Chains A and B, each alone.
Chain A
Amino acid sequence: MMDSVPRIEDPALLRGQGRFLDDIQLPDMLHVAFVRSPHAHAVIRGIDKQAALEVPGVHTVLTLADLSEVLTGERLPLGFGKAAGLPADITPFVLCKDEVCFVGEAVAAVLADDRYIAEDGAGLVVVDYDPLPAAVDCRDAMADDAPVARQANTTNLLATFDVGYGDCSDAFHRADHVIAVALKHHRGGAHPIEGRGAVAQPSPIEDRLTLWTSTQMAHEVRALVVKMLGCDEAQLRVVAPDVGGGFGAKFLTYPEEIVVAAAARMLARPVKWVEDRREHFLSAIQNRDQYWNLEIAVDHRARILGVRGEMIHDQGAYTPQGLNLPQNSALSVTGPYVVPSYQLNVSVVETNKVYTIPVRGAGYPEAAFAMERLLDKVARELGLDRAEVRRRNLITADQMPYELHLKARSGSPMLYDSGDFLECQAQALAAADYDSFPTRQDAARADGRYIGIGIANGVKGTGRGPFESAIVRIGRSGQVFVHTAAMPMGQGIATALAQICGESLGIDAAAVRVIAGDTDAISMGLGGFASRQTVTAGSAVHLAAEAVRDQAIDIAAMLLKTTPDTIVLKDGRAWDRDRPEQTLTLGELAEAVAGVPGYSLISHTTTSDAKPGLEATRIFMPESLAYCNGCHVAEVAVDIDTGAVTLLRYVVVNDSGRLINPMIANGQLQGGVVHGIGNALFEKMAFDKNGQPVTTTFAEYLLPTATEVIDCEIINMQSPSTLNPLGVKGIGEAGCVPAAAAIASAVEDALTPFAVRIDEIPITPERLVEHIHTQSSTSR
Chain B
Amino acid sequence: MAAISFTLNGELRQESSVSPTMTALDFLRENAGLTGTKEGCAEGDCGACTIVMVRNGADRLEAVMACLLVVGQLDGAQVVTVEGLTERGGELESVQQAIVTQDGTQCGFCTPGFVMALYALRHSGETVTDEVIHDALAGNLCRCTGYRSIVDAARTACSVSGKDNINSRDDSNTLPASDAYEAGGQLYFAPKTIDALIARRVEYPDAPLLSGGTDLGLLFSKERQKFPVTIYTQNVDELRRIEEDDTSFTIGAAATYTEALPYIEAEYASFGVLIRRIGSRQIRNVGTIGGNIGNASPIGDTPPCLIALDSVLTLRGPNGAREISLEDFFLDYRKTDLAKDEIIENVRVPKLGNGQIFRTYKISKRYDQDISSVIGAFRLTLENGVVTAARIAFGGMAAVPKRAIGCEAALTGAVWSEDAVRQAAAAIEEDFSPIDDHRASAAYRLRVAANLFVRLYRDLEGADDVEVMAL
- In the complex, the answer to whether B147 meets A492 with C-beta atoms within 8 Å is no
Residue of B whose beta carbon sits closest to that of A674:
B146
- The answer to whether residues A663 and B103 also contact, given A699-B43, A703-B141 and a CB cut-off of 8 A, is yes
A449 within 8 A of B: yes
- In the complex, the answer to whether B149 meets A707 with C-beta atoms within 8 Å is no
- In the complex, the answer to whether A706 meets B134 with C-beta atoms within 8 Å is yes
User: Which residue of B45, B137, B146, B463 contacts A697 across the interface (Cβ within 8 Å)?
Assistant: B45
User: Which residue of A242, A642, A671 contacts B108 across the interface (Cβ within 8 Å)?
Assistant: A242
- In the complex, the answer to whether B148 meets A709 with C-beta atoms within 8 Å is yes
- In the complex, the answer to whether A765 meets B82 with C-beta atoms within 8 Å is no
A230 within 8 A of B: no
Residues from chain A with a CB closer than 8 A to the CB of B369 are 705
- In the complex, the answer to whether B444 meets A770 with C-beta atoms within 8 Å is yes
Q: Which residues of B140-159 are within 8 A (CB) of A?
A: 140-151
A689 within 8 A of B: no
Q: Which residues of B75-90 are within 8 A (CB) of A?
A: 81-83, 85-86
A9 within 8 A of B: yes
Residues from chain A with a CB closer than 8 A to the CB of B38 are 20, 22, 193-194, 244
Q: Which residues of A684-718 are within 8 A (CB) of B?
A: 684, 686, 694-695, 697-700, 702-709, 711-712
- In the complex, the answer to whether B366 meets A707 with C-beta atoms within 8 Å is yes
B198 within 8 A of A: no
Chain A nearest CB from B103 CB (Å) reads: 5
Residues from chain B with a CB closer than 8 A to the CB of A642 are 363, 448, 451, 468-471
- The answer to whether residues A191 and B371 also contact, given A20-B38, A490-B107, A491-B106 and a CB cut-off of 8 A, is no
B289 within 8 A of A: no
- The answer to whether residues A16 and B143 also contact, given A641-B448, A664-B103 and a CB cut-off of 8 A, is no
- The answer to whether residues A644 and B470 also contact, given A664-B103, A705-B137 and a CB cut-off of 8 A, is yes
Task: Please measure, in the bound complex, the distance between the C-alpha atom of A709 and the C-alpha atom of B137, giving whole angstroms.
Answer: 12
Chain A nearest CB from B20 CB (Å) reads: 15
User: Which residue of B36, B106, B112, B115 contacts A490 across the interface (Cβ within 8 Å)?
Assistant: B106
Residue of B whose beta carbon sits closest to that of A20:
B109
| B-contact 0/1 string along A479-495, CB 8 Å cutoff | 00000000001111000
Chain B nearest CB from A188 CB (Å) reads: 12
A97 within 8 A of B: no
- The answer to whether residues A766 and B40 also contact, given A14-B99, A244-B108, A702-B365 and a CB cut-off of 8 A, is no
User: Which residue of A11, A194, A682 contacts B109 across the interface (Cβ within 8 Å)?
Assistant: A194
Task: Please measure, in the bound complex, the distance between the C-alpha atom of A205 and the C-alpha atom of B178, giving whole angstroms.
Answer: 50
Residue of B whose beta carbon sits closest to that of A116:
B224
Residues from chain A with a CB closer than 8 A to the CB of B368 are 705, 707-708
- In the complex, the answer to whether A707 meets B367 with C-beta atoms within 8 Å is yes
* Of B34, B108, B443, most A-chain CB atoms within 10 Å: B108
Residue of B whose beta carbon sits closest to that of A276:
B42
- In the complex, the answer to whether B438 meets A708 with C-beta atoms within 8 Å is no
Residues from chain A with a CB closer than 8 A to the CB of B96 are 14-15
B454 within 8 A of A: yes
A448 within 8 A of B: yes
A6 within 8 A of B: yes
- The answer to whether residues A193 and B48 also contact, given A646-B469, A671-B146 and a CB cut-off of 8 A, is yes
Residues from chain A with a CB closer than 8 A to the CB of B74 are none
- In the complex, the answer to whether B41 meets A697 with C-beta atoms within 8 Å is yes
Q: Which residues of A403-450 are within 8 A (CB) of B?
A: 448-449
Task: Please measure, in the bound complex, the distance between the C-alpha atom of A227 and the C-alpha atom of B35, giving whole angstroms.
Answer: 34
Residue of A whose beta carbon sits closest to that of B97:
A14
- In the complex, the answer to whether B133 meets A706 with C-beta atoms within 8 Å is yes
Residues from chain B with a CB closer than 8 A to the CB of A646 are 469
- In the complex, the answer to whether A641 meets B42 with C-beta atoms within 8 Å is no
Task: Please measure, in the bound complex, the distance between the C-alpha atom of A709 and the C-alpha atom of B145, giving whole angstroms.
Answer: 11
- In the complex, the answer to whether A702 meets B370 with C-beta atoms within 8 Å is yes
- In the complex, the answer to whether A193 meets B447 with C-beta atoms within 8 Å is no
Residues from chain A with a CB closer than 8 A to the CB of B34 are 16
- In the complex, the answer to whether B148 meets A18 with C-beta atoms within 8 Å is no
- The answer to whether residues A698 and B41 also contact, given A193-B141, A639-B471, A663-B103 and a CB cut-off of 8 A, is yes
Q: Which residues of B18-44 are within 8 A (CB) of A?
A: 29, 34-43
- In the complex, the answer to whether B143 meets A192 with C-beta atoms within 8 Å is yes
Task: Please measure, in the bound complex, the distance between the C-alpha atom of A585 and the C-alpha atom of B289, giving whole angstroms.
Answer: 67
Task: Please measure, in the bound complex, the distance between the C-alpha atom of A694 and the C-alpha atom of B36, giving whole angstroms.
Answer: 31
Residues from chain B with a CB closer than 8 A to the CB of A694 are 438
| B-contact 0/1 string along A1-40, CB 8 Å cutoff | 0001011011111111110101100000000000000000
B122 within 8 A of A: no
A773 within 8 A of B: yes
Interface of B is mostly: loop
B105 within 8 A of A: yes
Q: Interface size on A (CB < 8 Å)?
A: 81
- In the complex, the answer to whether B371 meets A15 with C-beta atoms within 8 Å is no
A667 within 8 A of B: yes
A527 within 8 A of B: no
A473 within 8 A of B: no
Chain B nearest CB from A723 CB (Å) reads: 26
- In the complex, the answer to whether A675 meets B143 with C-beta atoms within 8 Å is yes
Q: Which residues of A704-736 are within 8 A (CB) of B?
A: 704-709, 711-712, 735
Residues from chain B with a CB closer than 8 A to the CB of A684 are 438
Task: Please measure, in the bound complex, the distance between the C-alpha atom of A699 and the C-alpha atom of B151, giving whole angstroms.
Answer: 22
- In the complex, the answer to whether A709 meets B106 with C-beta atoms within 8 Å is no
- In the complex, the answer to whether A766 meets B370 with C-beta atoms within 8 Å is no
* Of A10, A642, A706, most B-chain CB atoms within 10 Å: A706
Q: Which residues of A626-664 are within 8 A (CB) of B?
A: 639, 641-644, 646, 663-664
Residues from chain A with a CB closer than 8 A to the CB of B415 are none
User: Which residue of A15, A639, A707 contacts B92 across the interface (Cβ within 8 Å)?
Assistant: A15
- In the complex, the answer to whether A7 meets B39 with C-beta atoms within 8 Å is no
- In the complex, the answer to whether B143 meets A644 with C-beta atoms within 8 Å is no
Task: Please measure, in the bound complex, the distance between the C-alpha atom of A609 and the C-alpha atom of B444, giving whole angstroms.
Answer: 80
Chain B nearest CB from A735 CB (Å) reads: 8
User: Which residue of A671, A705, A706, A765 contacts B106 across the interface (Cβ within 8 Å)?
Assistant: A671
User: Which residue of A449, A675, A699 contacts B371 across the interface (Cβ within 8 Å)?
Assistant: A699
- In the complex, the answer to whether A16 meets B82 with C-beta atoms within 8 Å is yes
Task: Please measure, in the bound complex, the distance between the C-alpha atom of A278 and the C-alpha atom of B46, giving whole angstroms.
Answer: 13
Residues from chain B with a CB closer than 8 A to the CB of A644 are 469-471
Task: Please measure, in the bound complex, the distance between the C-alpha atom of A639 and the C-alpha atom of B362, giving whole angstroms.
Answer: 14
Residue of B whose beta carbon sits closest to that of A191:
B143
- In the complex, the answer to whether B471 meets A244 with C-beta atoms within 8 Å is no
Task: Please measure, in the bound complex, the distance between the C-alpha atom of A703 and the C-alpha atom of B141, giving whole angstroms.
Answer: 7
- The answer to whether residues A667 and B149 also contact, given A6-B101, A7-B103, A16-B82 and a CB cut-off of 8 A, is yes
- In the complex, the answer to whether B444 meets A769 with C-beta atoms within 8 Å is yes
Residues from chain A with a CB closer than 8 A to the CB of B115 are 14, 16
User: Which residue of B42, B83, B466 contacts A277 across the interface (Cβ within 8 Å)?
Assistant: B42
Task: Please measure, in the bound complex, the distance between the C-alpha atom of A364 and the C-alpha atom of B78, giving whole angstroms.
Answer: 50
A530 within 8 A of B: no
Residues from chain B with a CB closer than 8 A to the CB of A193 are 38, 40, 46, 48, 107, 109-110, 141-143
B100 within 8 A of A: yes
Task: Please measure, in the bound complex, the distance between the C-alpha atom of A14 and the C-alpha atom of B40, giving whole angstroms.
Answer: 17
- In the complex, the answer to whether B43 meets A277 with C-beta atoms within 8 Å is yes
CB-CB nearest 3 A-B residue pairs:
A16-B36, A244-B109, A13-B108
Binding site for B on A (CB under 8 A): 4, 6-7, 9-18, 20, 22-23, 116, 119-120, 191-195, 242-245, 247, 276-278, 448-449, 489-492, 639, 641-644, 646, 663-664, 666-668, 670-675, 682, 684, 686, 694-695, 697-700, 702-709, 711-712, 735, 764-766, 769-770, 773
Binding site for A on B (CB under 8 A): 29, 34-43, 45-46, 48, 81-83, 85-86, 92, 96, 99-101, 103, 105-112, 115, 133-135, 137-138, 140-151, 222, 224, 363, 365-371, 438-441, 443-444, 447-448, 451-452, 454-455, 458, 463-464, 466, 468-471
**Can you identify 22 A-B contacts, CB atoms within 8 angstroms?**
A6-B100, A14-B100, A20-B38, A191-B143, A243-B107, A244-B110, A276-B39, A449-B466, A489-B107, A490-B107, A639-B468, A641-B451, A666-B103, A673-B146, A675-B143, A697-B43, A699-B371, A700-B438, A766-B440, A766-B441, A766-B444, A769-B451
List 8 additional contacts besides A642-B469, A770-B444; criterion CB under 8 Å. Answer: A16-B82, A277-B45, A277-B46, A707-B366, A709-B146, A765-B365, A766-B441, A769-B451
